[in-house]
Amino acid sequence: MQLASEESASKHGVYTSGTHLPNTLPRRLMTWWMVMRIALEERLAYRGDFALGTLMRFLPIITQIFLWGAVFSSLGDDSATGKKLGGYNFPDMVAYFLLTMIARAFSSMPGLAGGIASQIRQGEIKRYLIQPVDLVGFLLLSRLAHKLAYYFVATVPFAFVFFLCRGYFADGFPPAHLFVAFVGSLVMGFLLGFFLEATIGMIGFWFLEVSSLLFIFMLFSFFLSGHMFPLTLLPEGVLTVVNFLPFKYLAYFPAAIFLGKIPDDELPMELAIEAVWVAFFIIACRVMYSRGVKRYSGYGG
């Protein structure tokens, strides 16, 4: 499932129209604005539907709240000063899940890897080879446009839910430096999520059937990103391994920062490591793209 606007934009040659013009910044900005507008229109056209859909995405959290409520109450205490599991008491837990929704809104890239792989498989990549067009750059900007359009329209349902649940944020709003770190981790989460999936999509240059691999990856990513539970609940040995993986930055890390669960002395280090991971995947993506393009023998089409 590629984003509709990505598909239609590339099919209708939105990006490639006017390629006789120099590949300058103004032209790129124009194209980007166009993609952004399409994405926004899509969202707004179905906005009732969209708002309903966004609210429904919070439904699984309800069951999680009850589940953890039952777990904590069986430990004897589910209050704000209650027992902590992995550093999280019950209200923390609820706040955690809500925050991972925000983190996922930044880092999830539905259909990105699959879209790249299918473009490779169907030979649409050719278009990007004969023209001075940067596939990765285009996709990045289009995703950015989509996300911005999404945030614009999703702010209301999100704000509504957070307002309803404000009681779970026992410590209230985090101090300024933590909030800055939080925003930074969200931005890096977006980049990491994008380049990680783009790199996987690039595997399509070597293996035609990427979807199986992709699915297994998504499964691991879901589990190891902290989407299901705060990673600190994992047993020691497992936690050490998971800490070395990049997945935790996709959901767990920003939420943990916001809730003040990352000690101040470790925070800069963690952010730096995240930046390194981002850089790594940017490079990996680029390298695989150029290698893959060289190897490309024109499958499909």
Partner 1 sequence: MPPIIDVRELTKSYRVHKKREGLMESVRGLFHREYSDVQAVRGINLQVEQGEFVAFLGPNGAGKTTTLKLLSGVINPTSGHATVMGFTPWERKNEYRRRFALVMGQKNQLWWDLPAQESYLLHQQIYGVPPDQFTATLNELTELLDVTKLLGQPVRELSLGERMKMELIAALLHSPDVLFLDEPTIGLDVIAQHNIQQFLRYYQEKRKITVLLTSHYMKDVAALCKRVVIVAGGLVQYDGSLAGIIDKFSGNKIVTLQFGIADRPSDLSRLGTLLDTNWPKVRISIARAEIPRVLAEALRDYTIEDVSVEDPPLEDVIADLFHQVA
Partner 2 sequence: MAGRLTIHPNYWKVFLTFASNSLIRDMTFRANFIFQCISSVAWTAMNVGFYLVIFQFTKSIGVGTGWQQDEFFLFLATTWFINSIVQAFFMSNAEEFSELIRTGGLDFALLKPIDTQFLISFRRIEWSALSNFFAGLFIAGYSLYGMATRETDAYVPSIGMFVLYAFFVMCGVAIMYSVMICLAATSVWLGRNQTLYDFWFYITNFSRYPMEIYNRGWGTALLGLFTFVMPVLVVVNVPARVLAMPLHPRAWWEVPLMLWAIVATIASLAFSRWLFRKSLLSYRSASS
Which chain residues interact with partner 1 by CB under 8 A? 45-46, 48-52
Q: Which of 85, 109, 191, 196 binds partner 2 (CB under 8 A)?
A: 85
Neighbouring CB atoms inside 10 A of 278's CB total 22
Could you say which of partner 1, partner 2, none residue 45 binds, taking C-beta under 5 to 8 angstroms by partner kind?
Answer: partner 1
Q: Which of 29, 45, 47, 73 binds partner 2 (CB under 8 A)?
A: 73
CB of 53 to partner 1, least distance (A): 8
Residue range at the interface with partner 2 (CB under 8 A); choices 13-21, 69-77, 131-139, 161-169: 69-77
CB of 83 to partner 2, least distance (A): 9
Could you say which of partner 1, partner 2, none residue 56 binds, taking C-beta under 5 to 8 angstroms by partner kind?
Answer: partner 2
Give dist(CA 266, CA 248) in Å, integer. Answer: 15
Neighbouring CB atoms inside 10 A of 144's CB total 17
CB of 51 to partner 1, least distance (A): 8
CB of 146 to partner 1, least distance (A): 18
* Tokens of residue 62, six digits: 């309800």
Could you say which of partner 1, partner 2, none residue 60 binds, taking C-beta under 5 to 8 angstroms by partner kind?
Answer: partner 2
Residue 67 binds partner 2 (CB under 8 A): yes
Give dist(CA 88, CA 37) in Å, integer. Answer: 41
Please name every residue paired with 85 in a beta bridge, in sequence order, or none if there are none.
88
DSSP collapsed to 3 states, 227-284? CCCCHHHCCHHHHHHHHHCHHHHHCHHHHHHHCCCCCCCCHHHHHHHHHHHHHHHHHH
Binding mask 204-243 for partner 2 (x = CB under 8 A): -----x--x--xx--x--xx----xx---xxx--------
# of chain residues touching partner 2 (CB under 8 A)? 29
Residues 6+ apart with CB under 8 A from 77: 83, 89, 90
- The residue among 158, 35, 61, 160 whose CA lies nearest residue 106 is 158
Neighbouring CB atoms inside 10 A of 53's CB total 12
Residues 6+ apart with CB under 8 A from 97: 61, 64, 65
Q: Which of 21, 44, 75, 148 binds partner 2 (CB under 8 A)?
A: 75
Task: Tell me if 92 sits within 8 A of 65, measured CB to CB.
Answer: no
Tell which positions 170-189 bind partner 2, by CB under 8 A.
Answer: none
Residue range at the interface with partner 2 (CB under 8 A); choices 47-55, 145-153, 192-200, 287-295: 47-55
Burial of 11 (0-12, 13-18, 19+ CB in 10 A): exposed
Residue 80 binds partner 2 (CB under 8 A): no
Please identify, using beta-carbon distances, which residue of 63 and 81 lies nearer to partner 2. Answer: 63
Tell which positions 278-297 bind partner 2, by CB under 8 A.
Answer: none
Give dist(CA 176, CA 4) in Å, integer. Answer: 38
Could you say which of partner 1, partner 2, none residue 253 binds, taking C-beta under 5 to 8 angstroms by partner kind?
Answer: none
CB of 98 to partner 2, least distance (A): 17
Residues contributing to the site for partner 2 (CB under 8 A): 49, 52-53, 56, 59-60, 62-63, 66-67, 69-71, 73-75, 85, 209, 212, 215-216, 219, 222-223, 228-229, 233-235
